[in-house]
Amino acid sequence: MGKLNIAPTKSNLLVLKRQLAFAEEGYDLLEQKRQILIFELMSRLNRACDAEQNAREAMKKAFESLSEAEIEKGSESIERAATAIKMDHQISISDQHLMGMKIPHVTVKTETVSVQFGFEGTSAHTDIAMSRFIEVLPLLAELAELENAVRRLALELRKTQRRCNALSKIFMPDYRETILYITGSLEERERESFVILKMIRDRLEQPIEDQSSDNH
């Protein structure tokens, strides 16, 4: 903490008190924002962990089906069949607004699964693998959305925490110390003025004869 380099006047005291009140109000708002950000961050972090687990399990099943198809028909046959697939999956990204932030919302609209392979060169495992990989797409979109939100919320929380610390540990303590200093200085001046005025009043009320003797 440190006292501000400012003249100890009544006008400066009023200005400092207004600025301190404004800073305290701002700190309260930032603290509320910080609490909300922590809640939102932890909520999405837990959901991201679940989404990652779901996507991992779905990908594992999809690759298991693909491996079975490759074992049955060979990898070259599966690659040739894959080049003939034409499906139109759509990804859309919109903004969610939270505490002045924009967090992307990702949605995936997959094309309805239909017969894509001929009877020769593929097997039922090929169709199963394709269906399972398509099922993974919404899970990956959810995971990408949550991970992006977690990063943005963590960054905003860090900024908010720094501002809270600056107000609570530097700005407001300095202003409070300066206000105390100016208040004490003004009170000391008032006491000095009171003593001087009292001495003048006592001198004026003293009889002229006494004043003359005092001068001698």
Tell me the per-residue pLDDT of 176-199, one tens digit each, with 9 for 90 and over. Answer: 999 999 999 988 888 888 788 878
Q: What percent of the chain has pLDDT over 90?
A: 47
* Domain ranges across the chain: 10-173
**The CATH number of the domain covering residues in 10-173:** 1.10.287.3240
| C-beta of residue 121 within 8 angstroms of C-beta of residue 77 | yes
Closest by alpha carbon to 103, among 144, 141, 145?
145
pLDDT for 209: 57
C-alpha 171/C-alpha 16 separation (Å) is: 11
pTM exceeding 0.75: no
Evaluate if residue 115 carries a pLDDT over 90.
Answer: no
Residues 63-114: pLDDT tens digits? 998 888 888 777 777 776 666 677 778 888 898 888 888 888 988 888 776 6
C-alpha 64/C-alpha 132 separation (Å) is: 10
